[in-house]
Amino acid sequence: MKGVVLAGGRGTRLLPLTKNKNKHLLPLGKEPMIFNPVKQMIYSGIKEIMVITGEDAIDEMRGLLIKYMGSVCRFSFVVQPAAGGIAEALLLSEEFSNNEPLLVILGDNIAAHSIKPYVDKYRKRKAGAMLLLKDVDDPKRYGIAGFCDGKLANIVEKPVSPESSFAVTGIYMYDHNVFQYIRETKPANGGEWGITPVNLRYLQAGRLAYEKLRGFWIDAGTVESYHYAHEMLLRIENKIICGDEYEDTLQ
């Protein structure tokens, strides 16, 4: 299994913090934001990681990641020419994947608790896709899961009337079919090539699993959520909480 961190985008929701800096290089706690998803991959036993980002940030990311984590995994770096959406960015990893399954994490999705238990469950499945869901207070901001008889039945992006409060986090696991499914979908009217239609293709094929994520998680892409994540990671000194260390204060 290989890892892909999507760390491009313009970071407009974080202006003015991102006026001169890629958001994934902003500090969260005592480390750059991108260290959190990379650590999650390393703790999950992944040894090969591709980072996809913009041309303005690639040199700094390469220097930081190789200096501090290059001894425990092998990095590849690819430029996404423009902010064209998650699906478009993920296509850039097709050759890198070499038909192996992928753990894909959006670089501004911050989890304090280890996702290794979910990755291990996915490895046992050996095929299809798996999403991690999180109960959120503001479901209209996210892609939201709908359920029928306890089974995942739908995903609606930023719904006006959410079917549940469970958001699809930016943590995904895919088999090699993801690239075929991406090509069978189309960019939205706004031009961004989203990942929800790809996830729905897996759902329609009966090959989409989900798990409900325990512990602290946040999309740190807004000023408010960024500052909240920063304070949380300062509190725990940027460590990834594993095993029996789950703490009520972080739920």
Amino acid 250: pLDDT: 38
The DSSP code for 162 is: -
Amino acid 189: pLDDT: 63
Amino acid 14: pLDDT: 83
Tell me the pTM: 0.94
**Type and span of the H or E element at 217:** strand 217-219
Distance (Å, whole) CA 229 – CA 232: 5
Paired tokens of 100: 């192996």
Give me the residues of the chain with pLDDT under 50, please.
246-251
pLDDT in tens, 39-64: 999 999 999 999 999 999 999 999 99
Paired tokens of 171: 């943590």
Amino acid 248: pLDDT: 40
Go through 101-112 and write b for each residue having 16 or more CB atoms within 10 A of its CB, e for each that does not: bbbbbbbbbbbb
